[in-house]
A and B are shown apart, each in its own frame.
Chain A
Amino acid sequence: MIPVHLHFEEIEKKLRMAKSTSSDAQMLIRSLRTAYAATPTNLKIIDLYVVYAIVTAVIQVVYMGVVGSFPFNSFLSGVLSCVGTAVLAVCLRIQVNKENKEFKDLPPERAYADFILCNLVLHLVIMNFLG
């Protein structure tokens, strides 16, 4: 007869090993999250905007997959609008980020003005192509 406390020890060891792998992943995610929390708010806003644009693009592609690409110009203009604005937002984030030594001398307002202007031009073209 195996003693019950030995059985318990084996189970504890197994649990500890599993906990370590899962806790490794958890620790990784936790560290990422804390690091991300340290980023300034304005960058977080830009990240949120990028996520929003990409999700919209994905939904449009799913729709096209369902119904077919008949007014192809409309599909293209919709998707490219989202992707284009996401790209411009990424450019803005690069220019505004204070840790980025390359754009140290560029005032963030200037970057923001560029972002607005490029978006307006992009959307004029998109509206023309929408049909």
Chain B
Amino acid sequence: MARNLRLLGFLALICASLSISGAAVIRPINDAHRSAALELFVPTNGSFGSLEEAYEALRTFQIFGVEKSTEISHATCPVVAEKLGSSSFISKDLFLALRVNSILGCQIDARTFEDVASKLQAVIKNASSLVDFHYGVEGLLHIKDQGISVALSDADGTFHSIKALSQSDGRWRYDSNSAESSTYAAGIALETLAGVVSLADKDVDQSKIGIVKHDIIKLFDSIKSYDDGTLYFDEKHVDASEYKGPLATSASVIRGVTAFAKVASGRLNIPSDKMLGLAKFFLSIGIPGCTKDLFNQIESLSHLEDNRVSIPLILSLPSTVLSLTTRDQLKVEVTTVLGSAAPPLTVSLVQAFRSDSKDTPVLENQELQFDSENTIHYLDIIPLKLDAGKYKLMFEISLHDPENLNTYATAGRTSVMAFITGSINIGKAEIGIFDSDSGKSEALQKLDLSRDSALSLAANHLQKLHLSFQLTTPLGHHFKPHQVLLKLRHETNVEHIFVMESSARQFKIVLDFLSLVEKFYYLSGKYEIELTVGDAAMENSFLRALGHIELDLPKPPEKAARPPPLPVDPYSRFGPKQEIAHIFREPERRPPKELSLTFLALTLLPFVGFLIGLMRLGVNLKSFPSSVVPASFSILFHAGIAAVLLLYVLFWLKLDLFTTLKVLGFLGVFLVFVGHRTLSHHASATAKLKSS
């Protein structure tokens, strides 16, 4: 159990890093989530690995309205039937199987269900831990949904036992032995209590239900929040073995609270902004990257979609970039978390602030019109005379039917960042070279910045370069973009970038080359001029090549800084390296083959001479023993010597020393034995001859 939870914690870490979109923009669930679910929940040959994973996949598909495939039923139903039909008492297995079966609707006969029901009743009667109660009660609830009549006999007692595990801060313990209380366990407990109430054959004591409602309020007091207004539940202590992460914990609490709100009569006094905060939390994680997180997200949002506490309504903008050139309208969508229609309401733009003047609103109290065909609230921004720039818009929702205020949760004020973009006019562009002592110069020439120019300027270090232009918005105001940069690039690719300042409604820069001589590393020559003007609200941001300027700078003194080394292409180190010329040892000069063969013959010549000499001397084999046994020993002796010599030849040709020594050992022993016999026989023979 602990190992599984550790795995879950690790999985949560991976899922957090795999999450696709950031937490900035909150949008209701849409088709992107649906296709992500289809991509993530992929069965292998129809089965999902375990019943838990199968349930996650099937429930997610059920919420998205994806049709059940027969392949999945064929693969999973046998497993379900086997688990339900087996005689085991493991309540977890029965619970998981019943859960999957409630979606798949496998063909299980009523007898099996009745057997399982009686087993679960026994589990509940003997249960002491929260999870046992949970499996038993939820299992019975699933069986009841199949049409079998089940009832919890001692509902009050069960309720009391579960309630006994609660703590004063609204959390629950897993069983009476554990010291730590857990928020996740609170969610399980509330769900189980709701199950007990709906299974009870007679009504449960209302005062007990009231106490649980009180516990829920206390549990919601421990809710945590992020800076962007999202709320979530998390454990008090992050204990590595049992820790499940805020997503799973919040999902568990929502499951429990919405289930309990369904069965409890009267209202739960949970403030609606907390439900909205929880909804925003689940929507702000974007599209999770792993199955467990996606399941928790979608299942919690489906519980929030139609719960009896308050249904959150999400205000979102389909597009946060509006263009003045294409005369876009400001469009706002208000839906439930899963994208269903909201009740009749009006959206009004309460205030709009420009990013550079955060105190004074540029717009106040504009009501948006409703387009019932596309269920979108819209506002024409052209008549409002809004200029290009970044805006913070504050919206407010007002429901038409005052009774809906209890059912739905709308935020007080929702703020959204939006861009209004437009085409910026560039005018009065001038460029020229000044002499530094005289104030004016006739050399100022007009520049057309709507396309690249090919100017050819020349200056020495005593002169100055002057460039100026004006930027105006579509409404005629002076525009200050985010980037206005002038770049001078030398032939050797050394670059210098200058930021242009804005003053008195125009952008101007004067490059005094006398002061820049050191910065330019005293490099004279041709410099390419480039002008960059860009901003997020500017539709026609540009990078213009203006031409080149020939700079004549003085010679660098000895101590001048050298220009920085040019960056080496970082991928060049993966290219081929320099060729290495190896120097090999010259092979020794060998003699010609014929000479060697001649000398080989010459070497063998003395052996021939030796044989001839032996014959001249009259060598004979007269003293070779004549009788059989000594003769055989003699032959063996000579054969042994020949064998050793042959071994030596083989050793030279291909054997190694160890094999040779091994064989030599055997041959030597043999030779010694045989030689001894032969020579002693010969010695005795000569001794006999001498004596006789």
Residues of B with C-beta under 8 A to A41: 617-619
A59 and B683 form a contact (CB under 8 A)? no
Complex Cα gap A32–B290 (Å): 113
B residues 574-611 in Cβ contact with A at 8 Å: 588-591, 595-596, 599, 602-603, 605-607, 609-610
Residues of A with C-beta under 8 A to B618: 41
Complex Cα gap A112–B645 (Å): 17
B164 contacts the other chain (Cβ, under 8 Å)? no
Cβ of B420 to closest chain A Cβ, rounded Å:
91
Cβ of B558 to closest chain A Cβ, rounded Å:
60
B599 and A59 form a contact (CB under 8 A)? yes
Taking A63-B599, A107-B683 as given, write out 7 further A-B residue pairs in contact, using a Cβ cutoff of 8 Å, ordered by the A residue number: A52-B613, A60-B603, A66-B591, A66-B599, A67-B595, A109-B680, A124-B651
Which 9 pairs across A and B sit closest by C-beta, in order of nearness? A67-B591, A109-B679, A52-B610, A55-B606, A70-B588, A63-B599, A109-B683, A48-B613, A127-B648
B residues 200-237 in Cβ contact with A at 8 Å: none
Residues of B with C-beta under 8 A to A56: 603, 606-607
Complex Cα gap A55–B612 (Å): 15
A45 and B683 form a contact (CB under 8 A)? no
Cβ of B669 to closest chain A Cβ, rounded Å:
13
A48 and B617 form a contact (CB under 8 A)? yes
A116 contacts the other chain (Cβ, under 8 Å)? yes
A44 contacts the other chain (Cβ, under 8 Å)? yes
B641 and A48 form a contact (CB under 8 A)? no
**Residues of B in contact with A (beta carbons under 8 Å apart):** 588-591, 595-596, 599, 602-603, 605-607, 609-610, 613-614, 617-619, 641, 644-645, 648, 651-652, 657, 660, 664, 668, 675-676, 679-680, 682-683
A44 and B682 form a contact (CB under 8 A)? no
Closest Cβ neighbor of B660 among chain A residues: A124
Complex Cα gap A67–B588 (Å): 11
Residues of A with C-beta under 8 A to B652: 127, 130
Complex Cα gap A107–B645 (Å): 26
Given contacts A59-B599, A123-B648, A128-B657, contact A52 B588 (CB under 8 A): no
Residues of B with C-beta under 8 A to A29: none
Interface contact tally, CB-CB below 8 A? 71
Complex Cα gap A130–B653 (Å): 10
Residues of A with C-beta under 8 A to B651: 124, 127-128
Residues of A with C-beta under 8 A to B607: 52, 56
A59 and B610 form a contact (CB under 8 A)? no
Closest Cβ neighbor of B609 among chain A residues: A52
Residues of A with C-beta under 8 A to B589: 68, 70
Complex Cα gap A41–B648 (Å): 31
A residues 41-59 in Cβ contact with B at 8 Å: 41, 44-45, 48-49, 52, 55-56, 59
Residues of B with C-beta under 8 A to A60: 603
Complex Cα gap A123–B648 (Å): 8
Given contacts A48-B617, A52-B610, contact A59 B603 (CB under 8 A): yes
Cβ of A58 to closest chain B Cβ, rounded Å:
9
B606 and A45 form a contact (CB under 8 A)? no
B679 and A113 form a contact (CB under 8 A)? yes
Q: Which of B605, B614, B679 contacts A112 (CB 8 A)?
A: B679
Residues of A with C-beta under 8 A to B602: 59, 63
Complex Cα gap A85–B648 (Å): 16
Closest Cβ neighbor of B668 among chain A residues: A120
Cβ of A44 to closest chain B Cβ, rounded Å:
6
B591 and A120 form a contact (CB under 8 A)? no
B664 and A124 form a contact (CB under 8 A)? yes
Q: Which of A48, A113, A116, A127 contacts B614 (CB 8 A)?
A: A48
Complex Cα gap A16–B641 (Å): 58
Query: Could you give, for residues 59-95 of chain A, a 1 whenever the CB lies within 8 Å of some chain B CB and a 0 otherwise?
Result: 1100100111010000000000000000000000000
Residues of B with C-beta under 8 A to A128: 651, 657
Cβ of A122 to closest chain B Cβ, rounded Å:
11
Complex Cα gap A48–B664 (Å): 29
Residues of B with C-beta under 8 A to A120: 641, 644, 668
Residues of B with C-beta under 8 A to A104: none
Complex Cα gap A49–B607 (Å): 9
Residues of A with C-beta under 8 A to B609: 52, 55
Q: Which of B590, B603, B610, B682 contacts A49 (CB 8 A)?
A: B610
Complex Cα gap A113–B680 (Å): 11
A residues 99-120 in Cβ contact with B at 8 Å: 107-110, 112-113, 116, 120
Residues of B with C-beta under 8 A to A130: 652
A116 and B675 form a contact (CB under 8 A)? yes
Cβ of B684 to closest chain A Cβ, rounded Å:
10
Residues of A with C-beta under 8 A to B591: 66-68
Q: Which of B606, B660, B680 contacts A52 (CB 8 A)?
A: B606
B617 and A44 form a contact (CB under 8 A)? yes
Complex Cα gap A93–B248 (Å): 105
Cβ of A26 to closest chain B Cβ, rounded Å:
22
